[in-house]
Homo-oligomer: A and B are copies of this chain.
């Protein structure tokens, strides 16, 4: 049973199975955890339903965000204990404001939200963590992430955060294009809408990454 079973019809799954998509790629020996855009602009305020949350934070994902945040807060001590780097991304407000050609063109609006790009307090970066301000959807585009991973000798990226159908998807494609081994931790990844969330997990699992459970991620880290 996978989370996308109720939205991907049997006919589509048959094609993917026969074409060989979705097989496990497996993980490597030196992972880092990539926590994508878990800031107040994308979570919104804890406790509010998504449509209420959007009033103050237009890109808020609502309750699914906070469920993931709590799981992440609980997972991070193991990551740090295993000396896997926690790499956070958030929006580079200055660069976003200059992106005239983008679809949304709302950098200025986003930039005006006080503290909106701050990583949420429950998982605030600690000494030794890395924070990257990114200008676009992918954590790699216009950032030194690829160079940093090279310097650290990382061969595997465990990805989580938000949104599944936006910045997570874009970052996972690039991570795969750079030939890293990539996993997406399902319960720590969230979106503002449910069908895009599920279908993007399906797509990423089919083509670029192993979509794994938080428990599988724990077992993997503990095995290192």
Contact = CB atoms under 8 A, between A and B. Distances in A.
B166 A92 contact: no
A115 interface: no
A76 interface: no
A138 B170 CA distance: 11
Contacts of A146: 142, 146, 178
Interface in A155-190: 155, 165-166, 169-170, 173-174, 176-182
Q: What number of copies of this chain does the assembly contain?
A: 4
Nearest to A205: B103
Contacts of A99: 144, 147-148, 151, 179
Contacts of A180: 101, 150
Size class of the contact patch on chain A: 35 or more
**Could you say which of A14, A103, A106 has the most chain B C-beta atoms within 10 Å of its C-beta?**
A103
A18 interface: yes
A125 to B, nearest CB: 11
Contacts of A195: 7-9, 12, 199
B207 A137 contact: yes
A178 B208 CA distance: 22
A196 B196 CA distance: 9
Contacts of A151: 98-101, 179
A213 interface: no
B150 A103 contact: no
Contacts of A142: 142-147, 177
Interface of A: 7-9, 11-12, 14-16, 18-21, 23, 25, 50-51, 54, 58-60, 92, 94-95, 98-106, 130-131, 135-138, 141-148, 150-153, 155, 165-166, 169-170, 173-174, 176-182, 192-196, 199-200, 202-203, 206-210
